[in-house]
């Protein structure tokens, strides 16, 4: 962008003017200002040129191989699967141990309900979402599509 407008005009409005996003009154105000201010007119011309270059740029769609980010090699796929398995097992064991310790530390039935009711509810919600996802995945007509 060029230097600041000497009259203090908000040059951010130039972008709105270029995109025809201003109200009629603001549009007229900017148009009149551009007629009288060489600094803002130069900034507007630069923005218009930049917009033209941007709008004329062609997007090259990536190939299927470029879009597929899954591990391709057997070793990479195996290591990733093993990592998820270990992380899941650790979470299950650590969570189970924490729940067991909490169960042992709470004296009454009401306190146990308070301690485990929320966790049990969250677990049931998670399981219901998991079941819905698995059923939907089995019936998904687009499961062979990689995008």
Q: Number of structural domains, the chain?
A: 2
DSSP for 33-101, written as a single string: HHHH-HHHHHHHHHHHHHHHHHHHPPPPPPPHHHH--S--SHHHHHHHHHHHHHHHHHHHHHHHHHHHH
Please check whether residue 113 lies inside any domain of the structure: yes
Q: What is the pLDDT of residue 147?
A: 58
Please check whether residue 111 lies inside any domain of the structure: yes
Please check whether residue 17 lies inside any domain of the structure: yes
Please check whether residue 146 lies inside any domain of the structure: yes
Please check whether residue 126 lies inside any domain of the structure: yes
Residues spanned by the domain of 43: 12-56
| Residue where a domain terminates, one of 56, 76, 91 | 56
Q: What is the pLDDT of residue 46?
A: 92
Please check whether residue 132 lies inside any domain of the structure: yes
Q: What is the pLDDT of residue 39?
A: 87
Q: What is the pLDDT of residue 52?
A: 92
Please check whether residue 73 lies inside any domain of the structure: no
Tens place of pLDDT per residue across the chain (147 aa): 457 777 777 777 888 888 888 889 998 998 998 898 888 899 899 999 999 998 898 888 878 777 766 666 677 777 778 888 898 888 888 888 877 877 787 677 666 676 677 777 777 888 888 888 888 888 877 777 665
Please check whether residue 119 lies inside any domain of the structure: yes
């Amino acid at each position: 962008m060029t230097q600041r407008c000497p009259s203090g005009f908000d040059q951010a409005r130039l972008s709105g003017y270029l995109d025809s996003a201003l109200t009629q009154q603001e549009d007229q105000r900017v148009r009149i200002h551009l007629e009288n201010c060489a600094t803002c007119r130069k900034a507007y011309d630069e923005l218009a040129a930049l917009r033209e270059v941007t709008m004329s740029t062609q997007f090259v769609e990536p190939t299927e191989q470029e879009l597929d980010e899954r591990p391709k090699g057997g070793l990479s796929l195996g290591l990733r699967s093993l990592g998820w398995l270990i992380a899941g097992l650790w979470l299950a064991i650590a969570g189970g141990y924490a729940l067991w310790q909490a169960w042992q530390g709470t004296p009454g039935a009401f306190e146990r309900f308070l301690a485990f009711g929320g966790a049990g509810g969250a677990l049931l919600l998670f399981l219901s979402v998991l079941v819905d996802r698995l059923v939907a995945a089995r019936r998904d007509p687009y499961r062979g599509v990689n995008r």
